Amino acid sequence: MLPDPARIPLSDWADARLVDLARNLASPALSALSGADLLAMRARFNGFAVPGLVSAGGGCRFHRARDGWIALNLSRPDDTDLLPALVGSAEIATSDPASVDAHLRQHDAAALVAQGRALGMAIAALDEQPFSPAIHSEAITAAPKHRAGPPLVIDLSALWAGPLAGQLLRMGGARVVKVESQSRPDAMRDGDPALFAFLDEGKEHLALDLRDEVDQDWLIALIRTADVVIEAARPRALRQLGIDAVALVREVPGLAWITITGHGVAGDAANWVGFGDDAGVAGGLSCALWEATGNIGFVGDAIADPLTGLVAAIESARMIGDGTGGRVILSMSGIVALALEESRNRDAAALARDLERWATGVGQPFG
């Protein structure tokens, strides 16, 4: 467990979800995990400090807008190039934090968030509400799948949440095949080798040319043999691969399809970009910190990622255990909101104490 005051709020919620996972996938490896360890994993690997206005990994930052606060994630190389379009001015000095702050202060938070999301930026307002529910199920099939041997999981995802789900399933006894594009391998390989090594351990690997029709057909044939598919692609990207998730779920008995999104797949939100830090803000966690302590800051390290990975593993294990299939769509911001709401309902005073201790730990190691 993390020592106070740096223990991450919602760790108790993650502990309870690990118990849920063990109901369908009991294993010594899973039993050895704790919620606190799971949420602090990347921070411990990298020696991060408890964050304040800048996220633990450094890619996301809180800025004042004219009427409130926004969290803006500039972790990708091209994100900074979009700043002039975000603020509607070519005068912004994109490499000068003071210039960026001055331009952002001239706009309302909601307008910045709307414009940023239209541009494909990962951005959130401190006081927004999640657009989509945490978990949405559709195209449920009742036909069971009977397999001799361990369940087969095809992991098409990258970065953190999806690969964590695959790793938790592997630790619970599943066979996991990680599929990567030859031209665009998982950015976590080079971006965070220590975390990638944990998430990748024990998985089988396939590198395919996903622009090639032969490889696309081969991948779809592999999917038809699977028990679970985990992916985090936006709808257009799947269509470009010739993959129709709903059709496959309906055609393949017992296929469980897990779609991980930043903000759901309904309406415009289907195309909104979301990463762990900004999705945590969109889910209300930083607002809860502000309400409890008067401090603006990030809670945890990209917290929506491990929370969502854990829920994705639970949903997969549940369907494996039931022998039924379907498509389950997870919203990262929605999952943070769900965890926050359930923690409040269980013990609001304890949650407030965790947030207060967290606020006093800024700059300290995670443990």
Q: Note the pLDDT tens digit of each residue in 274-295.
A: 999 999 999 999 999 999 999 9
We report the CATH number of the domain holding residue 163 as 3.40.50.10540
Residue 6 domain-assigned (yes or no): no
Residue 325 domain-assigned (yes or no): yes
Residue 323 scores a pLDDT above 50? yes
Residue 360 domain-assigned (yes or no): no
Residue 359 domain-assigned (yes or no): no
Residue 152 domain-assigned (yes or no): yes
Residue 3 scores a pLDDT above 60? no
Please give the radius of gyration of the chain, using alpha carbons only, rounded to the nearest integer.
20
Q: Of 274, 256, 251, which Cα lies nearest the Cα of 314?
A: 256
326-332 mean pLDDT: 96
298-313 mean pLDDT: 98
Query: Where in the sequence is the domain holding 315, given as residue range(s)?
Result: 11-48+132-266+304-339
**Strand pairing report for 228-231 and 256-261:** parallel
pLDDT tens readout for residues 127-185 = 999 999 999 998 677 566 666 789 999 999 999 999 999 999 999 999 999 999 998 89
Q: Of 162, 160, 205, which Cα lies nearest the Cα of 187?
A: 160
What is 53-84 written as a DSSP string? SB-TTSSEEEEE-SSSEEEEE--STTGGGGHH
- Angle between helical axes of 11-24 and 332-360 (0-180°, round to 10): 140
Instruction: Give the total number of structural domains in the chain.
Output: 1
Residue 238 domain-assigned (yes or no): yes
Residue 2 scores a pLDDT above 60? no
Residue 259 domain-assigned (yes or no): yes
Residue 83 domain-assigned (yes or no): no
pLDDT tens readout for residues 73-127 = 999 989 999 999 999 999 999 999 999 999 999 999 999 999 999 999 999 999 9
The CA distance from 367 to 111, in Å, is 38
pLDDT of residue 138: 83
The CA distance from 367 to 365, in Å, is 5
Q: CA triplet 215, 217, 219: central angle to 5 degrees?
A: 70
pLDDT of residue 96: 94
Query: What's phi and psi for 61, nearest 5 deg?
Result: -140, 140
Mean confidence (pLDDT) of the chain = 93
